[in-house]
Structure 1
Amino acid sequence: MTAIAQTPILYSFRRCPYAMRARLALAASGQSCELREVSLKAKPAQMLEASPKGTVPVLVLGNGQVLEESLDIMLWALTHNDPLECLPASAQHQQNVMQLIAQNDGPFKFQLDRYKYPNRYPGEITGTQARDAAASWLYELNQRLNGTDYLCGSRRSLADMAIAPFIRQFAHTDSEWFNKQAWPNLHAWLQRFLNSEAFAQVMVKYPPWTAEQAPTLFPPTDVALRT
């Protein structure tokens, strides 16, 4: 594990899937950071100074470098330490993982936004149309999970951590509809994620950060395994 000179600062929002996957990777790496939970209605000036675009997650490193993209944060954390071997082991494996993440972050996220927030996109496709368009990829994921617990093999990988928070968001938009779909492998994969210690770690609730409060270290060490 490469030594980190100073504890990084992570600006995060508990329910944001991008921030969630960044926290998952940080927790998997064992990299401690100061967690600053953000109120999206009152973003702290310190975060906006570091990252004027104003979206989470933002990781400020001890040397002043700022990482503003969740995937960059994940790769930074796991490159420093990867005890669970979440990173791809070969160039071919890496290509497969990055293709899956690109599909999630591109076409699937496009449809997810229009499914979950149809009023934000007037004049475009309906929420039902977006749901059905996104469902074709979920069917592919269900097929990919046939005979395996994870998206890229027998253990949780970068792909699972990067994608699961978005599938969770999709499922919760209309859980009754989602649960009726003939996707038993995908349902089991998502439930495994929701029952995991990793998910429990990253979903601990914290009040919005203020400059006056004592630092909150992440990941927490007192979260029991959820079974």
Structure 2
Amino acid sequence: MLSRKTPTAHFVQLIEEGAALSIPVLYSFRRCPYAMRARSALVASGLVCELREVVLRDKPQALLDASPKATVPVLIEPGGAVIEQSLDIMLWALRQNDPHAWLALDPDGVSAAMDLIAQCDGQFKHHLDRYKYPQRYDDVDGRAHRDDAASWLFQLESQLATTPFLFGDRLTVADAAIAPFVRQFAHTDRDWFESQPWPRLQAWLQRWAQSPLFERIMGKYPPWVAGQAPVLFPG
């Protein structure tokens, strides 16, 4: 379980005293599952960043300058290096500090976790997008893509047969990386999702959605405007 204690108050005090800080900057969007996974790792690591909430239909020029791909999340390290992929942001944070042992798996476990995340980001995300937004893809058959995505969720159900989390008795990087996408799938049609024979998967998702971690990553922030006072995350 993640502690609610953070060093944020200390950083706020430093800002109030006019001290110069050198902390990462994270461009994020609250509901984006990729950004959710990045924020999760930052919370778990205990690192603090400046959060810049983005309005996707009106992206700030600073984000476009940092990352022409113009999608969130994007993290800018204190030295100026840019990390553009959500999983890379997770690994960057956790390799600096991993107090909850999200990466503490044996070599085979790490390989299996990365493979499962790749399946989520590949085949499952492909079908999820077309299920949730069929109008964006020439009005494809959303239900067909729902059923294709569901075949992978049966795999997760099977993996949860003996443990409450994907790789054992505690949450790891795999759970934190995958849960936001399963949540997006579930919310597309909650009644249908809850009617499926996935009791372990449904319990796993509920456990994550009711956790202190989820509460902390889903705080609401106003859109970032250049020149405003830094918004520190976690906060």
Band the TM-score falls in, shorter-chain normalisation: over 0.9
Q: Which residue of structure 2 lines up, in the alignment, with residue 52 of structure 1?
A: 68
Query: Quick one: distance in 2 between partners of 1:142 and 1:198?
Result: 22
Give the structure-2-normalised TM-score.
0.90
Q: Which residue of structure 1 lines up, in the alignment, with residue 122 of structure 2?
A: 106
- 1:95 Cα deviation from its structure 2 partner: 0.7
The answer to whether structure 1 residue 176 and structure 2 residue 182 are counterparts is no
Give the structure-1-normalised TM-score.
0.93
Whichever residue aligns with residue 15 of structure 1, its letter is R
The answer to whether structure 1 residue 17 and structure 2 residue 41 are counterparts is no
**Structure 1 runs, 4 residues or longer, greater than 6 Å off:** none
Query: Quick one: distance in 2 between partners of 1:215 and 1:76?
Result: 22
Distance 1:123 1:169, change over 3 A: closer
Q: Which residue of structure 2 lines up, in the alignment, with residue 225 of structure 1?
A: none
- 1:88 Cα deviation from its structure 2 partner: 3.9
The answer to whether structure 1 residue 33 and structure 2 residue 26 are counterparts is no
Q: Which residue of structure 1 lines up, in the alignment, with residue 14 of structure 2?
A: none
Query: Quick one: distance in 2 between partners of 1:159 and 1:32?
Result: 22
Q: Which residue of structure 2 lines up, in the alignment, with residue 157 of structure 1?
A: 172
- Bigger drift between 140-149 and 151-160 goes to 140-149
Q: C-alpha deviations, 1:131-162, integer Å up to 9, x for none? A: 00011111110111112110011110000000
Whichever residue aligns with residue 80 of structure 2, its letter is G
Query: Quick one: distance in 1 between partners of 2:48 and 2:103?
Result: 19
Query: Quick one: distance in 2 between partners of 1:141 and 1:72?
Result: 23
Q: Indicate the RMSD between aligned Cα atoms, in angstroms.
A: 1.0
Instruction: Judge conservation of contact 1:7–1:34 (CA < 8 Å) in 2.
Output: yes
- 1:41 Cα deviation from its structure 2 partner: 1.1
- Report the secondary structure of 2:69's partner residue: coil
Q: Which residue of structure 2 lines up, in the alignment, with residue 115 of structure 1?
A: 131
The answer to whether structure 1 residue 209 and structure 2 residue 227 are counterparts is no
Instruction: Judge conservation of contact 1:78–1:87 (CA < 8 Å) in 2.
Output: yes
Query: Quick one: distance in 1 between partners of 2:64 and 2:136?
Result: 24
The answer to whether structure 1 residue 89 and structure 2 residue 105 are counterparts is yes
Query: Quick one: distance in 2 between partners of 1:154 and 1:182?
Result: 22
Aligned residues: 215
Q: C-alpha deviations, 1:166-197, integer Å up to 9, x for none? A: 00000000000000001000000000010000
Identity %: 59
Query: Quick one: distance in 1 between partners of 2:118 and 2:105?
Result: 19
Query: Quick one: distance in 1 between partners of 2:155 and 2:107?
Result: 23
Whichever residue aligns with residue 110 of structure 1, its letter is H
Query: Quick one: distance in 1 between partners of 2:84 and 2:205?
Result: 27
Query: Quick one: distance in 1 between partners of 2:139 and 2:50?
Result: 42
- Provide structure 1 residue ranges, at least 5 long, that are not aligned to the other structure: 221-227
- 1:89 Cα deviation from its structure 2 partner: 2.5
